[in-house]
Structure 1
Amino acid sequence: MKILNILILDDDLTQLELLKAMFSRIEYPRCNPVFTADAASFSEQLASFPFDLVITDYYMPDKSGSEILDLVKNERPDCEVIVLTSGTSTTEAIELMKRGAYDFIIKPISSEVLLNRITKIFELKNLLQENDSLLKAIGSKEIPFSNQIIFQSQTMKEVINIASRAARTDANILIQGESGTGKELFARGIHYSSKRKHKPFVTVNIAALPETLIESELFGHVKGAFTGADSDHTGLFEQSEGGTLFIDEAGEIPLHIQTKLLRILQFGELQKVGSGKIKWIDIRVIAATNKNLEELVQKGLFREDLYYRLNVIPLYIPPLRARKEDIIPLVEHYIEEICEKHQRDKVTLTDEAAFLLTNYSYPGNIRELENIIEYAIALSRGNVITRNELPAILQREIPGIQSVSGSLENNYEESMEAFESRLITEALESASGNQSAAARTLGISERKLRSRMAILGLKNPFR
């Protein structure tokens, strides 16, 4: 989705003008707002165009917020609804949320709150579109994950092959890899390639939960189970019934909770906090961690039997520095995505910038690469990213580049040719003379490598 189409209804013309001013200042996400002050015009607009979102006042002279919600859901079931309400009518607004409204905003409207709600809906719509595309791809027997993961390396091809085969089973999976390697992306791909794809995919990051709430969030609780438990709470396991629960940062699960988790994995037994009743559930668990669980087992911080229950199919995602062939395809993907997000012309890379990006170690992996590209695009004045737009850490990390760059003022051509010759020679030596592999390491095509070798008078030392 590139643009969020929004229909806005409010009979208060002053409020409508205020909303127009707010939307005029929103740069991301891209919005196409249509404003109307009466219910009749609203109904005509709604019937004539597939809007993604409706923002409506709760109190209207000719239609109530409840009637507006019913109209939208009957006419456009996939359209989200946000209700604008005064502080005195929040109870009614909450009732509308129970009946299908996405959220409500209390007047006077804050531009920050409005932007937050709109951004969440935009990202939700995009996620649903991606899921639909993946399901269609699976239905048409396309390669799973092909539309989700950018890769070129043989290493990632093997990882994706394992994940694709694992998706056809019902076994639990343990995804291991450094932070930022895309573990949740793989978990989603596995779920939507499995027989559970039409059931819920629920995620939880253990590290993001206070330890006192982890048990209640995972297993649920009954009313009166502890102070503040004023009503029954459905836990994430129960919400995942029939589908998949993705447990991120599994190495952070406290020991006393690991026992209850083990019973679910072994017997499918779920017991809510404060309840003596057992409920049997059918779910698949995909866990992920950036820690070495075997070491935690040896230190007594993680149950060995739970580790083996989770690690039925191990899946290791290598760090970005171990698959340099994937870096430039990922860079090109993020350039296109970020330029579209900021509504600017697409930029290109100089060879030197491509080399720096290819040879950086990326301790933050793909997440860090995306941030670097957004940083470079923000700093670029034209349509080309040079080394000057890249963070200084990339240049400091690569041996030799500082000393060469320091001599550029004296003899630019000579310095650059010497620098390039050394890079090509080192790449050929590391690839044992394989020019195709050397070109991938340098982030250029083999044809360009041959051309530069001819211009620089270089010969393959292995031939």
Structure 2
Amino acid sequence: MDNILVVDDEKNIRTLCARVLGEDQAIEVHGAGTGKEGLQMADDVAPDVVLLDLRLPDSDGMDVLRALKGRHPEIAVIIITGYGQIQSAVEAMKSGAADYLEKPFEHLDKLKLSVARALGEVRARREIQRLHQLQEKQNRVDQLVGESEATRQLRDMIAKLARSEAQTILIHGESGTGKELVARGLHYQSSRRDFPFMEVNCAAITETLFESELFGHERGAFTDAKSAKKGLMELADRGTLFLDEVSEMSLNSQAKFLRCLQERVFRRVGGTRDIRVDLRIIAATNRPLETRVKDGLFREDLFYRLNVIPILILPMRDRREDILPLARHFLNESNLRSHKALKGFTPDAERLLLSYSWPGNVRELRNLIERLVILGTSDYIEPAHLPVQFSAQVPRPVERGQLEETRTLAEVERAYINQVMQKVEMNKSRAAKILGISRQTLRKKLVEE
């Protein structure tokens, strides 16, 4: 139910508002005759809209307006003013009032319309705030699930960089490792979180459209430019611009982007006015940019401008301690979405997940779990439910006194390494100590799998 508070020293005005607005069963109207009483009632009933008279017996209506907006900034305040007090109403609008009405009310429909409009604005603001809080919750740094040392360090780095004034960040990582999630974490953990997060996939924009999309254009700049349009850099002002797959940007587009990267100044296509923006630029690549530079496919000067603060996200095969926590996390998510209640994985299924190389990284794992949950009919995910490539990873145990002719020495070594890794719960340092090799050697052998 919507709450309306009428603060006016005239009882007949309070009664009229209660009668007219109370016709809507979804509205409850409260009344107060003084500024002090109105402020107290606002604290008690938390109104959505306040109808406030500018002339009250105990205080100035402007002071009450400022107090209301200070205590309850989300409230919409409609000023009630007498004939000849329009200038005061204008001043009130500058101080945060949503609208003003002259009394006596000659047209009651205007009262209803003004209150309905104010209620709509209040609901819209609350919905925007709810969605913004939901985005913040979904993109918090603790959403980076994993127990490996690499993931813990990544969470710490995101928290530090988000709070910093770092203007340019470059994220390296294979496809599916979660580069966009890291970029969103950097934005929503920062002081820029109340401003836009604009994303552009550089591989999806043709060279001819790149300048217009990024910088915008003026009316008449080209044949189809029937009106002026802001570009993504302008729309992201005071927020974050995320350039995904920046390695795919054409050399022509790189040259245009380079000019505005350092100074954050550009011109729209067809424009003559310099536009200055304050934004954080986060770029992501799934290819080594150093190699692209050597091959002549990426500008060296742009690489150094982007690579101010590099973040490396390791592939899943290099942080196997994260596999099971991520699998359980995705299982819970998929259960909620699909209204299922799968309880988990059998030990054999977990061993298969741990021994798989995950070429598609986290994205492949998430998609797999979602598919298994949708198609699942039992309480637990078993080896038989997994695709055929998982069973091919399983090392078959050698029975005592029997040699398998089909197994090479390398296969036996891999099987033993997997056995030790499972025994120490994927702790590389402990496993290396047991195997009598260095941690770096163990990492290489795991990659070779």
TM-score in terms of structure 2 length = 0.63
Q: Deviations over 1:90-112 (max 9, x none)?
A: xxxxxxxxxx9xxxxxxxxxxxx
Aligned partner of 1:166 among 155, 161, 165: 161
Aligned partner of 1:228 among 224, 229, 243: 224
Aligned to 1:77: 124
Say if 2:151 is the partner of 1:156: yes
Q: Secondary structure at the match of 1:227?
A: coil
Instruction: Give the whole-Å Cα distance in 1 for the aligned partners of 2:132 and 2:328.
Output: 21
Say if 2:374 is the partner of 1:378: yes
Q: Secondary structure at the match of 2:141?
A: coil
Aligned to 2:9: none
Contact 1:73 1:79 (8 Å CA) reproduced = no
Aligned partner of 2:134 among 100, 114, 129: 129
CA RMSD in angstroms comes to 3.7
Amino acid at match of 1:426: I
Amino acid at match of 2:144: I
> Following superposition, which runs of at least 4 residues in structure 1 exceed 6 angstroms of deviation?
66-69, 124-127, 421-424
Instruction: Give the whole-Å Cα distance in 2 for the aligned partners of 1:278 and 1:261.
Output: 15
Aligned to 1:287: 283
Aligned to 1:250: 246
The aligned runs of 1:390-401 (5 Å cut-off) are 390-396=386-392, 398-400=393-395
Q: Deviations over 1:356-406 (max 9, x none)?
A: 11121111111110111112122322111101111222222x1535x99xx
The aligned runs of 1:107-146 (5 Å cut-off) are 128-131=133-136, 145-146=141-142
The aligned runs of 1:178-189 (5 Å cut-off) are 178-189=174-185
Amino acid at match of 2:202: I
Task: Give the C-alpha shift of residue 257 in structure 1.
Answer: 1.8
Instruction: Give the whole-Å Cα distance in 1 for the aligned partners of 2:373 and 2:358.
Output: 18
Q: Deviations over 1:43-85 (max 9, x none)?
A: 569xxxx9xxxxxxxxxxx9xxx999836623522466xxxxx
Q: Deviations over 1:103-146 (max 9, x none)?
A: xxxxxxxxxxxxxxxxxxxxx97674141576xxxxxxxxx612
Gaps of 5+ in 1: 1-39, 51-61, 81-99, 101-123, 135-143, 408-420, 450-459
Contact 1:169 1:194 (8 Å CA) reproduced = no
Instruction: Give the whole-Å Cα distance in 1 for the aligned partners of 2:165 and 2:285.
Output: 21
Q: Secondary structure at the match of 1:440?
A: coil
Amino acid at match of 1:256: N
Task: Give the C-alpha shift of residue 214 in structure 1.
Answer: 1.6
Gaps of 5+ in 2: 1-22, 29-47, 49-108, 400-411, 437-449
Instruction: Give the whole-Å Cα distance in 2 for the aligned partners of 1:461 and 1:261.
Output: 51
Give the number of equivalent residue pairs.
320
Structure 1 residues 395 and 211: CA distance shift in structure 2, 3 A: farther
TM-score in terms of structure 1 length = 0.61
Question: Higher Cα Rg: structure 1 or 2?
Answer: 2
Contact 1:72 1:79 (8 Å CA) reproduced = no
Contact 1:206 1:247 (8 Å CA) reproduced = yes
Amino acid at match of 1:341: R
Task: Give the C-alpha shift of residue 301 in structure 1.
Answer: 1.7
Aligned to 1:113: none
Contact 2:170 2:306 (8 Å CA) reproduced = yes
Amino acid at match of 1:339: N
The aligned runs of 1:421-436 (5 Å cut-off) are 425-427=416-418, 436=424
Say if 2:290 is the partner of 1:307: no
The aligned runs of 1:440-451 (5 Å cut-off) are 440=426
Instruction: Give the whole-Å Cα distance in 2 for the aligned partners of 1:368 and 1:270.
Output: 39
Instruction: Give the whole-Å Cα distance in 2 for the aligned partners of 1:389 and 1:279.
Output: 56
The aligned runs of 1:406-417 (5 Å cut-off) are none
Q: Deviations over 1:235-267 (max 9, x none)?
A: 000011112111101111121222221121222
Q: Secondary structure at the match of 1:357?
A: helix
Instruction: Give the whole-Å Cα distance in 1 for the aligned partners of 2:229 and 2:148.
Output: 45
Structure 1 residues 234 and 324: CA distance shift in structure 2, 3 A: same
Aligned partner of 1:363 among 359, 373, 384: 359
Structure 1 residues 315 and 387: CA distance shift in structure 2, 3 A: same
Instruction: Give the whole-Å Cα distance in 1 for the aligned partners of 2:356 and 2:335.
Output: 23
